[in-house]
Amino acid sequence: MSTKKIKVDTETFKKVQQSIITEQHKELRKNLSVEQAKKLEETDKIITKVETNLIDNENSNLHIIKNLSVDLKDVLPLNKLYEGTNFKTLNEFQFNNAVMLRFTNKVLVYLMGKNADTVQAESPLYFRALRDTASSIVLNLMYDVIITDSNGNSFNSPIGRKPKMINFNFKKIWKHVQKPKNVQDMTAKDYFNSKFNKDGKDTDYISFELFNDISKFVLMHVEQAEADVPLLKKINAVNDFVEAGNNFLPVTQQTETVEAIKDCIYNLLDVAVNSNKMEILSDTLINLTDEKTFKNFKDHIKSFETKSAKIKMYQAVKFENNKAKYIQANTSEALTNQLKTA
């Protein structure tokens, strides 16, 4: 039995298909009760409202980035970020989540006249708007990637119900791109384009989401997980949740959350050890506390003086003349002696 191939015009086929779907939908609506039809209409309005809000959010995020990194860049209190460091420019920082949070609090929150100590708890969504745009703001402050026309406009004019996009200069970013160490078969530029600029354009209009992904990749070497890297996807999801302003324990199920956090930290440190990524352990030790939290941490450690604790090994980092000395001991007495003599 032979088969005969018939060539069908794609556009004609789509029109016929849409016509069939429209008729089927009319038939479905005809069979609805009055109450069902009313509820469907109500649901359609709710969905349209959600769509409108999502479009407005995308537009607003891009305007926040442009306003703060272009129009108001000369009044940003970057000196607040540099306090306590020897740095004089953004380029001197090695950006990670902690530094980006510091930028958000010291520069953006301060500029907006908010209290960095209370804004996260009192106005979490206000803080989230700043936190979500921080990396893109920093990227443009450092590399001037936003293209502005003679009228001061940087946005396209989308047709239909679509969010705006912002004019982005890829040429200014390529020389600052670093590819992952495990990528050997292409240049850093080609790797970057394969992820974020598949047509290899010098400039293009991009969405807020793409701007954000590019900024995190360039500044913090963070990229979206591929479908076959489930651990990275889950870790990114946790990071995104915490960075959105959810950095306090919940009121309910607090005990369960504390235990889950402990298990997560232990498990991730096991992953680091098993993968021989010792820089994760050293960075954890070095950045464990800061000037605000060290006293509470020390008091907590002291509370174990009268308790029996099962110790695997004490580990610490001591600094002399900005040089790190790593210390380990099996008992508290041995640790104390090493800290005195190291």
pLDDT at 124: 87
Report the C-alpha gap between 235 and 222 in whole angstroms. 11
Report the C-alpha gap between 137 and 43 in whole angstroms. 37
List the single range of 55-69, 131-145, 237-251, 319-333 with lowest mean pLDDT: 319-333
Over range 240-253, report the average pLDDT: 81
Higher pLDDT, 23 or 3: 23
Residue 312 scores a pLDDT above 60? no
Instruction: Band the pLDDT of 166: cuts 50, 70, 90.
Output: very high
Residue 215 scores a pLDDT above 90? yes
Which residues are within 8 A (CB) of 214 and not within 5 positions of it... i.e. 6 or more apart? Answer: 136, 139, 168, 173, 196, 206
Instruction: Band the pLDDT of 98: cuts 50, 70, 90.
Output: confident
Residue 235 scores a pLDDT above 90? no
Over range 216-243, report the average pLDDT: 79
Please list the helix, strand and coil fractions of the chain in percent, rounded to the nearest 5, in that order. Answer: 60, 5, 35
Q: Is 326 helix (H, G, I), strand (E, B) or coil?
A: strand
H or E segment to which residue 319 belongs? strand 314-320
Instruction: Band the pLDDT of 300: cuts 50, 70, 90.
Output: confident
Higher pLDDT, 203 or 299: 203
Closest CA to 195 of 216, 164, 167, 169: 216
What is the pairing mode between strands 323-329 and 314-320?
antiparallel
Closest CA to 128 of 30, 43, 247: 247
Write down the domain spans for the chain.
Answer: 57-243, 251-287, 293-342
Instruction: Band the pLDDT of 84: cuts 50, 70, 90.
Output: confident
Report the C-alpha gap between 169 and 202 in whole angstroms. 6
* Full DSSP string of 224-276: PPPTT-HHHHHHHHHHHHHHTT--S--STTHHHHHHHHHHHHHHHHHHHHHTT
List the single range of 2-16, 286-300, 314-328 with lowest mean pLDDT: 314-328
Phi-psi region of 321 (alpha: psi -120 to 50; beta: other; left: phi over 0): left
Report the C-alpha gap between 198 and 195 in whole angstroms. 7
The owner of tokens 């015009």 is 9
Task: Share the mean pLDDT of the chain.
Answer: 84
Instruction: Band the pLDDT of 266: cuts 50, 70, 90.
Output: confident
The 10s digit of each residue's pLDDT in 43-52 is: 999 999 999 9
